[in-house]
Amino acid sequence: MQKLAQSWLVLSISNSPFLLGLDAFLGEIPIFLFSLVGGVVADRVERRRILLASQYVQMSCAFLLAILAGFELVRVWHIMTLSFIVGLAQAFGGPAYQALIPMLVEKEDLPNAIALNSIQFNLARVIGAVLGGVALTQLGAVWCFALNGVSFVAVIVSLYLLNVKFVPVKTMETMYTSLKQGLKFIRHQGAMESLIALAFCMTALAIPMITFLPVFAKDVFRGGPSTFTLFLSVAGAGSVTGALAVAALGNLQHKGLVALSMLICLGAGIAGFALSKSLILSCVLLFLSGVSLIAVFTTISSLVQLITANEMRGRVMSVYNVAFRGGVPIGSLLTGWLVPMYSAPSVLALNGLMLVLLGGCFLLLNRRVAAL
């Protein structure tokens, strides 16, 4: 909900695709810069405490943005500063959250758990987009920010009710030494480096499609917030469908082959959406892209979790988090820079083509992932 209102507000105030991309960049770059430190902290501190602190910071930022917008004091730099602070909170909360998931389920149920987690995330994105579209159209951006702030209360209460507790092993090692051990573990895990590289490339090339949906809604299809809401809802519905499909399949074999096949489908869907001039066809392609995106994400995340030891999980997942989330700001900033020069359809079509080529190269030339 906040993402919808925030993106539309930035574009409305500035009318600049570059600033839209810059806002996404500032929201994600702290994750790229600080997740490695967050991973070490997640292996040293009780993970639930880290998550609670992260939720409190994000809730405060949502309410502050609601106040600024409510009193008509909001400026683009306010939005971008708060985006950076939220990203900083997520840089520490993300590794702790991902490291906590395997403690809640058995190892053989982990792929299903990750898929179901993706469902709740993307279902929230669908419902949030619909509610956010109604709130943005009928009530304004203030309600989107305020309702988002209220939503953190349920998460905070859930964390207090959680019985699982991580007891970190006491160590005299420096944070730098612990970080080096995590990186060494990754280097000696065969396909782990390839999985992390795939996660980075996927988000850098695929997520800009979501970031620049306001540009397609406003400039390509000459629509307003309702068109933007439609696009977000369709993409979210596709993601939920993809997560349900992965969860229904269970602990399927040849996860690496599935991930690469879905990556090729994702690239084709993005390229088709970028070049489409039909609203109906664009929605169909956006839905299929959402299915493919979540299928790739779920299978790659499952593989990383399954080959990671628990005592290393915070550090390994922080590196994965850097790659997965770090691709977003770099891809968004680069796309925001290229769009004014070459147009959004051309740049997004090129992103899709590059994903197709990337999946093909890993299928044919680098068999480590395909063999998993």
Residue 103 has pLDDT above 90, yes or no: no
Write down the CATH superfamily of domain 2-165+172-370.
Answer: MFS general substrate transporter like domains (1.20.1250.20)
Residue 46, number of CB atoms within 10 A of its CB: 14
Question: What is the pLDDT averaged over residues 37-58?
Answer: 86
Radius of gyration over alpha carbons of the chain, in Å? Answer: 20
Instruction: Check residue 281 and give its pLDDT.
Output: 93
36, amino acid identity: L
Instruction: Check residue 251 and give its pLDDT.
Output: 66
Instruction: Check residue 121 and give its pLDDT.
Output: 61
Going from N- to C-terminal start, the domains of the chain cover: 2-165+172-370
pLDDT exceeding 90 applies to what percent of the chain?
A: 18
Most confident range (mean pLDDT) of 111-120, 249-258, 268-277, 330-339 is 268-277
Residue 189 has pLDDT above 70, yes or no: yes
- 256: tokens are 């690496």
pLDDT in tens, 82-99: 999 999 998 888 888 877
Predicted confidence band of residue 32 (pLDDT cuts 50, 70, 90): confident
- Interhelix angle 344-364/255-275, nearest 10 degrees: 160
Predicted confidence band of residue 4 (pLDDT cuts 50, 70, 90): confident
Helix H, strand E, coil C: the string for 109-138 is HHHHHHHHHHHHHHHHHHHHHHHHHHHHHH
